[in-house]
Amino acid sequence: MLDPPEALIARPGFDLESRATDSRPGFDGSAKSGRRALRGASAELAELQERLYAAGVDGARDAVLLVLQGMDTAGKGGTVAHVVGAVNPQGVHYTAFKKPTDEELAHDFLWRIRQHVPSPGIIGVFDRSHYEDVLIGRVHSLASPEEIERRYGEINAFERELADAGIHIIKVMLHVGFDEQRRRLMKRLDRPDKYWKFNPADIDERQHWNEYRRAYQLVIDRTSTDVAPWFVVPADHKWYARLAVQQLLLDTLESLDLGWPPARFDVDAQRERLRTLAILPG
């Protein structure tokens, strides 16, 4: 895939309608070659994650935060399974943000988010995130327009703070089409092993399709910053979306130029200790 960040970035003013949901920016191969590329890069991702983790053990502050947003069926779950699933679970902190609890609602909207910010060396994954508070929050008027406006600023300040603390933020909107969503929802209704994934409320939300589009457009305009830009990933082709997210992760990890940490002890002295230590009678 060619320069994934450049192919997928959405800076303020980027028009969501200009990116077709069935397009494949930066990749002109077949679906088959795309799937092969995805599998092929899994080992590289796993090794880079191990290096990130090792750096964290050694005291480096770097962490990665992958934020996944998108309409129902956009492929957040599949991306987690097929992209993040390739790395050691020890180094992943996955959080699904659902409907807030009463306790969470009693706090500032970032309160519950902060509790899941990844520690050094960890890849954090947010399946939905603080952006729900300016998406469903706007569409369903769960907060006043003034409050929603204020939240954009608070989000930018929050993400700047994370970036300053060494967290590399990758914000992905999985951009699925209206017709493709119908196909995917219909599949859940056609297959008894998928019933559990279906919720009649998904169709309620679908009725607000254009309002969500506008809310996403505003999110991009207000919160795509230099330290935490948005990437709009066309998601009608699942294999493409997964490959794109994998490449964004790889690109971020490669940019850290992660070596293996040096020994923080005298290697020969430790070898000698180890060699001479016999089991004690016991």
How far apart are alpha carbons 210 and 279 in whole angstroms? 71
To a second copy, the closest distance from the beta carbon of 213 in angstroms equals 7
Q: How many CB atoms lie within 10 A of CB 213?
A: 16
Piece of the chain touching a second copy by CB under 8 A; list 4-12, 26-34, 229-237, 254-262: 254-262
Q: Are 257 and 173 in contact (CB under 8 A)?
A: no
* All residues at 6 or more sequence positions from 33 whose CB lies less than 8 Å from its CB, including other chains: none
Question: Rounded to 5 degrees, what are φ and ψ at 240?
Answer: -65, -45
Which amino acid does the sequence have at 35?
Answer: R
Query: Quick check: 57 binds a second copy (CB under 8 A)?
Result: yes
Piece of the chain touching a second copy by CB under 8 A; list 139-147, 204-212, 236-244, 245-253: 204-212
Pick the binder of a second copy from 2, 81, 105, 157 (CB under 8 A): 81
Query: Quick check: 211 binds a second copy (CB under 8 A)?
Result: yes
Query: Quick check: 213 binds a second copy (CB under 8 A)?
Result: yes
Query: Quick check: 262 binds a second copy (CB under 8 A)?
Result: yes
Which amino acid does the sequence have at 166?
Answer: G
Query: Quick check: 94 binds a second copy (CB under 8 A)?
Result: yes
How far apart are alpha carbons 233 and 251 in whole angstroms? 15
To a second copy, the closest distance from the beta carbon of 102 in angstroms equals 17
Pick the binder of a second copy from 28, 102, 103, 193 (CB under 8 A): 193
To a second copy, the closest distance from the beta carbon of 220 in angstroms equals 16
Q: What is the DSSP string of 219-281?
A: HHHHH--SSS-EEEEE-SSHHHHHHHHHHHHHHHHHHT---PPPPSS-HHHHHHHHHHPPPPP
Query: Quick check: 101 binds a second copy (CB under 8 A)?
Result: no
Query: Quick check: 200 binds a second copy (CB under 8 A)?
Result: yes
Q: Are 111 and 135 in contact (CB under 8 A)?
A: no
Residues touching a second copy, count (CB under 8 A): 54
Pick the binder of a second copy from 2, 144, 182, 254 (CB under 8 A): 182
Positions 105 through 144 that interact with a second copy (CB under 8 A): 125, 127
Structural tokens at position 274: 């180890």
Structural tokens at position 40: 């092929």
Residues that bind a second copy (CB under 8 A): 54, 57-58, 77, 80-81, 84-85, 87-90, 92, 94, 96, 125, 127, 178, 182, 185-186, 189, 192-193, 195-198, 200, 203, 206-207, 209-211, 213-214, 260-265, 267, 270-271, 273-275, 277, 279-282
